[in-house]
Amino acid sequence: MKFNATKTHGLIVAGFCSVLLVGCTTNPYTGERETGKSAIYGLGGAAAGAVVGAATSSKSDRTKGALIGATVGGAAGAGYGYYVDQQEARLRQELSGTGVQVVRNGDNLQLVMPGNITFASNSSDVSSSFYPTLNSLVKVFKEFDKNGIDIVGHTDSTGGADLNRRLSQERAGSVASYLTNQGVSGARISSRGAGPDQPIASNDTQAGRAQNRRVEINLRPL
């Protein structure tokens, strides 16, 4: 069989289009079609798969190899992108109005929990008013169990450095303990304290210090 570059190109483009169609959703507020992150992941996987498929096939089977590679790569890429899309949507639904921020960065999701709604001042005991929010997290973490859960405590720069590091570690540990006690697998969870070393705002103002006193949960692929 003679290698047909035009045919190969057409098949790959068709594969890309199918990935885009799967990844497109309708915005419920505007009614417009939008390309989701799963389509973007799928296109990247399809492109890589097509190149590898063509390169590893015999000369007579490059068209077939490229198509198979594009299909497999696209499915793998879109699969995880779709998974994170769904997890992000569930987290935003469960955490609406709680004060917890949901931040998406590529494959990773980050939950930012301000210290004033999570802990009493200078305490590592979780505020009882925050238990319902943590229970919402437990529900989503059990439903979506393909992520590692990295919990990091942060403080502002007031007080001694050793005290801040210990407090940040204890707060992260308290959140980790609550999650495991509610049935989230401990094998997925890690916790540590960063103290005042990773501020997200200026420690020169009261508002900035309040932003820096926080616990972050970073969700990453296992």
Is it the case that residue 18 has pLDDT exceeding 70? no
Residue 33 has what pLDDT? 47
User: Do residues 108 and 213 lie in contact, with contact meaning Cβ atoms separated by under 8 Å?
Assistant: no
Residue 147 has what pLDDT? 92
CA distances from 220 to 51, 149, 178 (A): 27, 7, 20
| Beta bridge partners of residue 148, listed in sequence order | 220
Lowest mean pLDDT among 24-28, 46-50, 67-71: 24-28
Domain range summary for the chain, segments of one domain joined by +: 5-92, 97-221
Is it the case that residue 76 has pLDDT exceeding 70? no
Is it the case that residue 48 has pLDDT exceeding 60? no
| Of 114, 218, 131, 116, the residue nearest 182 (C-alpha) | 131
Average pLDDT of span 109-135:
94
CA 72/CA 48 separation, integer angstroms = 10
Residue 204 token pair = 């020169």
CA 136/CA 18 separation, integer angstroms = 35
CB proximity list for 31: less than 8 A, separation 6 or greater: none
Residue 119 has what pLDDT? 92
What is the model's pTM? 0.68
Residue 70 has what pLDDT? 52
The share of the chain scoring above pLDDT 90, in percent, equals 58
Assign a CATH topology to domain 97-221. Answer: 60s Ribosomal Protein L30; Chain: A; (3.30.1330)
Measured in degrees and rounded to the nearest 5, phi and psi for residue 214 equal: -155, 165
CA 15/CA 61 separation, integer angstroms = 17
